[in-house]
Amino acid sequence: MVKSFLILILTLFVTAFSYSQNRTLDYYISTGLKNSPLLNDYNNQLQSGSLDSLLALAAFKPQVNVASQAMYAPAGINIGYDEAITNGGNYAATIGVKQSLFNSRIKTAQSENINLLKQTLEVNKTITQTDLKRSITLQYITAYADYSQVQFIRKTVEMLNGQQKVIKQLVEAGIYQMTDLLNLSVSIKSQEITGKQVFIQYKNDVALLNLLSGIIDTTTVELEKPDLKLTPLPDIQKSPVMLQSKIDSLKNSNSKSLVDLNYRPKLEAFADAGFMAIKPINIPQNFGTSFGLNFSIPVYDGKQRQLEYKKIEINEKSRTLYRDYYSTQYWQQYQQLYEQLRLNDDLIRDINLQLTQQKELIDLYKKVALENAMIRITDYLAAINNYTNTQNSLTIAEMTRLQLINQLNFLK
């Protein structure tokens, strides 16, 4: 009866931890980038930016307008508008053309401004991609840590079940007591419960991973170990934050140019053609045309130009302070993370050495001491527990290593 019950428990344990398909880190990252509404929004904004460039250029082309008016002002004795003003009526239909002259510098400055806005969108898109990749990778590492622990517990249960058969034979032979067999059974059950708890946590972490990646899936998946390599540290000047700082500097310079251009003389050519008449019957005789130039030059604006200069100078000072602060923080973060990675690698080597010694002790117990009743079952179980705890420490250290590499690779 006890044997059948244990077989049933093991079957349920294995069934609960069966996996439907494999998943890799690259799969989640590529899917997350594809499904991100923010990244799609940036792509749409970049397309819209191309249209803004065309709109800006179109504004400098000749502007053609059609205008028409039909107005009658009735007048009588002591009533009505003065005909000297209204002519009694006004009937007009004209087509007019306006064209700004000598505006190449304004056109260049506005085009540059739109181009800088597009560059800002590109940088923001890169920052969003970096943040999303880092978040997905971090969550994948967390889920994989649970998965590794589930796999290790399963192997431990399988090993203990194998030893249970041996102990049962030894109990029947009178070498061990029934309490020893029950003690082992309790340890197996404890491992199974722990395994189910970790499995539930694993399911939750995979659900969060799916949420980050925009994946609708509730099946149980098998995660492949992430193969993260420490990439060479990129040039800080090419980091998104530094690129944005350079763009902001160009924006400030271009803004100053636009302010200056607002105070340049402006010349505009115009022409129109059509008819203007005070009576409908005169329309055929009142077709004509006109053309000319409009010229304007700013004289005084209440010192607005100087105030605009001061605003740009303040923005430039803020940009410089942010740039210098970022540069200092960037190198401090890198050195701190790299030192943590070095110490963590030393810890992993120590844990692996300890695991090797503990594994040798367990194998010795299994092959020699246990079958010959040279040790107590409690000592054997204590060795198993110590090995399990050390393995958990190794899993934590290895996942910490991957997290540190993830932070270094996506340092911004």
Bridge partners of residue 223, in order along the sequence:
23
Q: Is 227 exposed, middle or buried (0-12, 13-18, 19+ CB in 10 A)?
A: exposed
d(CA 117, CA 52): 10
Q: Which two tokens stand for residue 401?
A: 């290593």
* CATH architecture of the domain formed by 63-102+265-297: Single Sheet (2.20)
Q: How many CA atoms lie within 13 A of 318 on its CB side?
A: 8
Residues 6+ apart with CB under 8 A from 76: none
Domains 2-60+104-263+304-409 and 63-102+265-297 share a fold: no
Q: Which two tokens stand for residue 155?
A: 């192997």
The domain segmentation of the chain, as residue ranges, is: 2-60+104-263+304-409, 63-102+265-297
Fold for domain 2-60+104-263+304-409? Outer membrane efflux proteins (OEP) (1.20.1600)
Q: What is the pLDDT of residue 5?
A: 42
Residue pLDDT tens, the chain, 412 long: 444 444 444 444 444 445 567 889 999 999 999 999 988 988 888 887 777 666 666 666 777 788 787 777 787 777 776 676 677 778 788 887 877 777 777 777 778 888 888 888 889 898 899 999 999 999 999 999 999 999 999 998 998 888 888 888 878 877 778 888 888 889 889 989 999 999 999 999 999 999 999 998 888 889 999 988 888 877 888 888 888 889 888 888 888 888 877 777 887 777 888 878 777 887 788 888 887 878 778 877 778 888 888 988 999 999 999 999 999 999 999 999 999 999 999 999 999 999 999 998 888 877 765 666 677 778 888 888 899 999 999 999 999 999 999 999 888 7
d(CA 197, CA 125): 39
Backbone angles phi, psi at 288, to 5 degrees: -165, -170
Q: What is the pLDDT of residue 254?
A: 84
Pick from 270, 213, 256: nearest CA to 67: 270
Answer positive or negative: Cα dihedral of 54, 60, 61, 65.
positive
Pick from 383, 392, 390: nearest CA to 361: 383
Q: What is the pLDDT of residue 293?
A: 78
Contact 344, 406 (CB under 8 A): no
**Helix and strand totals (H; E) in the chain:** 9, 6
**First vs last C-alpha separation in the chain:** 62
Strand 266-277 relative to strand 221-223, pairing:
unpaired
